[in-house]
Amino acid sequence: MKKFTMMRATLCIWILSAVVCVGRGHHHEGHDQDTALDSSADSVSRVTSANKEFAYRMYKKLAAHTESQGKNIFFSPASLSIALAALSVGARGETHRQLFSGLGFNSSLLTQTDVDQSFRTLLQRANKTSQDISEGTAVFVDNRFKPQPEFLDVLKQSYFADGFEVDFTKSTDSADTINKYVEEKTNGKIDKLVESLDPSTVMYLVSYIFYKGKWATPFDPKLTKEDTFTVDESTKVPVQMMNMEQEFDTYYDQAINTSVLHLPFNNSYSMLLLLPDDMATLENVICPSHVTKWLKWMKSRTYDVYIPKFSIKTSYSLKDMLIEMGMTDMFGDRADLSGISEERELLVSEVVQKAALDVDEAGATAAAATGIEITLMSFRHIPVLKFNRPFMVLITEHSTENILFMGKIINPNI
């Protein structure tokens, strides 16, 4: 065997997420084919449950990572699960077992086909039931590399993958092709994703999610004024603080001293804002059952709520964290991705996620604050809930409690 045939080609995975709390998005044209086999309700339930558990495990890895210390965190666990599940289609042997285990899929209860059909159902449901969300994948394949047709077919049918043939030897052109696609799918929120390309790259697998949500009850820009946000004991920063007095669904979790505010969008999604007395305590214990409990026991009452306007972007290399979660072989010489190609030995060189979050009164990212000060009447006692110190944010779907996005805001100005 010639020496060059022993070299492993490179597969990169990019996960792109953007959520913009801004007006209505464009209707996702989607995939209207309903010809694939229906997933069983049990399989969809198991996959959804595993996705939720994975979200919190991944968040805790990000929060514990040295690069995240003292920084905002924002990522899409849903998009990451989709990308890794799509990769598992082409994984075999121990590499496949590690991916399944890392994602929380019980291989004695779920086959790869079960997982594929469940994601098809979930993606179809998301893309068809709301005009405000668009999710999917894309595969960019080098024109000299021929993946297994079965692999590409499953990605197209179950993960709604767009397929593109590129010449990775022309790195600038290839990067431009990927960047243009990404920018279009995220409405410009994620641009210039690829700076440079490894010459051994033969495939890029991209997972994207874009969500545009309009508040069910928008904030009045006239009530937005400058205020102070306490980053830590020694750091305070100015913010534009939105304000609204009305009935909100809230819950106070005494066990972890955390206030929970429910902010619905005008669709089947909502934002949960979590204001803990101690962030580390919340981060250490938070799990899916907390969200279930909060949503079940929330009470509606009038609050004077203050939330900062902010716009943040994040970028993560997730390779080390996924290795810590047991997904080791796919990054090294032991990688078995023969379901993608039997002709070439493949490994995953990197898993990257970029995400963006904009929050303002109605959503318009260019909205300006007027700075008019409004004084509330003093004869009524309205409790105040003010997000003027680090807080966590979750964007979830009502019926499944599936977590589209998750993070914490340490400093709204960064």
* Segment 347-367, tens digit of pLDDT: 888 888 888 888 888 533 211
Q: How far is CA 385 from CA 90, 173, 284, 400, in A?
A: 48, 50, 23, 27
Kindly indicate the confidence band of residue 331, based on its pLDDT and cuts at 50, 70 and 90: confident
Question: Is residue 78 pLDDT above 70, yes or no?
Answer: yes
- Mean pLDDT, residues 135-143: 85
**Percent of the chain surpassing pLDDT 90:** 47
Domain boundaries, the chain: 3-213+312-357, 221-308+364-409
Residues 6+ apart with CB under 8 A from 113: none
Residue 84 and residue 79: Cα distance in Å, rounded? 9
Tell me the CATH class for 3-213+312-357: alpha beta
Residue 8: what pLDDT?
56
Q: What angle do CA 55, 300, 273 make, to 5 degrees?
A: 30
| Residue bearing tokens 């024109």 | 143
Kindly indicate the confidence band of residue 373, based on its pLDDT and cuts at 50, 70 and 90: very low
Q: Which of 23-37, 318-332, 369-383, 398-412 has the lowest mean pLDDT?
A: 369-383
**Percent of the chain surpassing pLDDT 70:** 84
Question: Is residue 256 pLDDT above 90, yes or no?
Answer: yes
Question: Is residue 370 pLDDT above 60, yes or no?
Answer: no
Residue 402: what pLDDT?
86
Question: Is residue 33 pLDDT above 50, yes or no?
Answer: no
Question: Is residue 413 pLDDT above 90, yes or no?
Answer: no
Question: Is residue 139 pLDDT above 80, yes or no?
Answer: yes
Residue 26: what pLDDT?
37
Q: Which of 127-136, 200-209, 341-350 has the lowest mean pLDDT?
A: 127-136
Kindly indicate the confidence band of residue 14, based on its pLDDT and cuts at 50, 70 and 90: low
Would you say how long the chain is, in residues? Answer: 414
Question: Is residue 246 pLDDT above 90, yes or no?
Answer: yes
* Segment 154-180, tens digit of pLDDT: 999 999 999 999 888 888 888 889 889
Q: Which of 106-115, 168-177, 379-388 has the lowest mean pLDDT?
A: 379-388
Question: Is residue 49 pLDDT above 90, yes or no?
Answer: yes
Residues 6+ apart with CB under 8 A from 64: none
Residue 405 and residue 62: Cα distance in Å, rounded? 13
Arithmetic mean of pLDDT over the chain: 82
Residue 36's closest CA among 144, 156, 133? 156
Secondary structure of the chain in HEC code, one letter for each residue: CCHHHHCCEEEEEEEEEEEECCCCCCCCCCCCCCCCCCCCHHHHHHHHHHHHHHHHHHHHHHHHCHHHCCCCEEECHHHHHHHHHHHHCCCCHHHHHHHHHHHCCCCCCCCHHHHHHHHHHHHHHHHHHCCCEEEEEEEEEECCCCCCHHHHHHHHHHCCEEEEEECCCCHHHHHHHHHHHHHHHCCCCCCCCCCCCCCCEEEEEEEEEEEECCECCCCCHHHCEEEEEEEECCEEEEEEEEEEEEEEEEEEECCCCEEEEEEEECCCEEEEEEEECCHHHHHHHCCHHHHHHHHHHCEEEEEEEEEECEEEEEEEECHHHHHHCCCCHHHCCCCCCCCCCCCCCEEEEEEEEEEEEEECCCCCCCCCCCCCCCCCCCCCCCCEEECCCCEEEEEEECCCCCEEEEEEECCCCC
Question: Is residue 284 pLDDT above 60, yes or no?
Answer: yes
- Mean pLDDT, residues 387-403: 90
- Helix 112-129 crosses helix 149-158 at what angle (to 10 degrees)? 40
Quick one: how far is CA 117 from the chain centroid? 21
Tell me if the domain spanning 221-308+364-409 has CATH number 3.40.50.40: no
Kindly indicate the confidence band of residue 144, based on its pLDDT and cuts at 50, 70 and 90: confident
Q: Which of 234-243, 275-284, 348-357 has the lowest mean pLDDT?
A: 348-357
